[in-house]
Each structure stands twice: as C-alpha cells, then as structure tokens.
Amino acid sequence: MDATYLYVDRERRHTTDRPLREGADDVGNDEQLSMDLGVPVEKTGWNKWVDPKRHAGQVRKFLDRAGLPALPEEPWDFESHEACEINDMIRTILPDLESVSQPENADIVDQLVCFAGECFIQYLDARWIDLTNIPLGYNDSKSVSIYDGIKPGLAFEFEDWNAFTANLLVEFVVANEFIELYELPSVGFWKLRKGNEFGSTFSDLSSELAGRPPFM
C-alpha cells in the first residue's frame, strides 16, 4: 500500500477535515453531519484531534511561544532566523526523546505536531490521515507513541513519498533538529513551483534529502 493509495482512501473516508491556517471556515465531518441531520453528533477522537480550529489554535500557541507571527505565504529559508529560533526553542523544551513522553510536555508536543504538519500542508499540499487501522505502507517510529486511540499521519500525492506518522515526525525532530525537517518543505516548495531553476528538480528531493521521514 503506497502513499498515493493512502491519500485516495483518505479522500473517500474523510472529505472536509483538512487542517487550515487561521481564518479558514471549513467544517469537519461531524459538524457537517450535524448540519445535514439537524441533530447534534458527538465527534470521534480522530475528528476532535484533526479539527481545523483546534490545529489553528495549537499552531498559534506554538508561534507565540517562539515569538513569531503567522506562517508566511512562502516558507522561511530553512537556515533563517525564524527557523533557527524554532529549532532552539524545541531543543530547550524537548532535549531528548524521554522528554517527549513526560506529561507536562504533552501540549507542546502536540503543538509541534500541528505546526510541523501545517508546514507540509501549506507548502507541499500534504494532508492529515488517521493510520490507526492501516498496518502497512507508511513510515513510523518504533520508540515514540504520542496519542491514544488514533495515529495521525501526513500523506502526500507525490511519487516515492511515503506517508509518515506524527510519532516519527516528533522522533526525527528531537533526535536530529527541526531545521533538518523544515528543509524539506522549505526547499521543496520552491522546486515544486519553480522546477529546475534551482539546478535540480522536485523529484530529486528523495535522494538529496534522503533520511527525512517521507524517504526512510
């Protein structure tokens, strides 16, 4: 099962829960169902987690913590002041993988997931999917487990890009550095939109940035 199949399957099962930037007015599946039926519908654990308003709030809290404004329309350079500020903040709050599992860090870990996910969504058209009942076809962490009852993952429409879990996202950032993860949407954004003006094509990213979560 490849990442493209995961994305197409995701479209069949969930069609309105894409995380958005602040100010967006899309509604989630349960909210739409409630509107259609005229009766309250209790949200599932997944739809509560993926709710666009919740994600926008977590992204805003993360950026406030770093002292930064909203994500720009075009990505920061991965070695920019802004990216380095975020990198240093994460290293201070989450110095090792053990700190990820500490209860007092649960909210900042979720903020990190929402923020990093939004970078892939905004700049590389990724989407959140629930991988709970999908046993194969994506990259996951063997040592980090963040959420109970759900397994959020990011999926892409690009050939040779595997979906990967939020668990792996956090493990990669903490074990390496945020800027190593952010390099992918930062560089990928320009190659995707400008083609080979940068000396190599978008399809070269899987070899140029091998070892990042979609290419493990």
What would the pLDDT profile of 64-100 be if each residue is shown by its tens digit? 999 999 999 999 999 999 999 999 999 999 999 999 9
Please give the DSSP secondary-structure letter assigned to residue 153: E
- Both tokens of 159, joined, read 């050939």
Taking Cα atoms as reference points, which of 19, 49, 190 lies closest to residue 117? 19
* H, E, C per residue of 154-180: EECCCCCCCEEEHHHHHHHHHHCCHHH
Taking Cα atoms as reference points, which of 106, 117, 153, 155 lies closest to residue 20? 117
Q: Each residue of 116-126: pLDDT tens digit?
A: 999 999 999 99
> What count of residues does the chain have?
216
Cβ count near 40 (within 10 Å): 9
- Give the sign of the dihedral formed by CA 194, CA 209, CA 3, CA 19: negative
Cβ count near 136 (within 10 Å): 7
Examine the pLDDT at 179 and tell me if it is beyond 80: yes
Residue type, 150: I
pTM of the shown model: 0.80
Q: Each residue of 151-168: pLDDT tens digit?
A: 999 999 999 999 999 999
The string of DSSP letters for 95-136 reads -SHHHHTSGGGHHHHHHHHHHHHHHHHHHH--EEEE-TT--S
- Both tokens of 213, joined, read 């979560």
pLDDT grade for 197, boundaries at 50, 70 and 90 = low
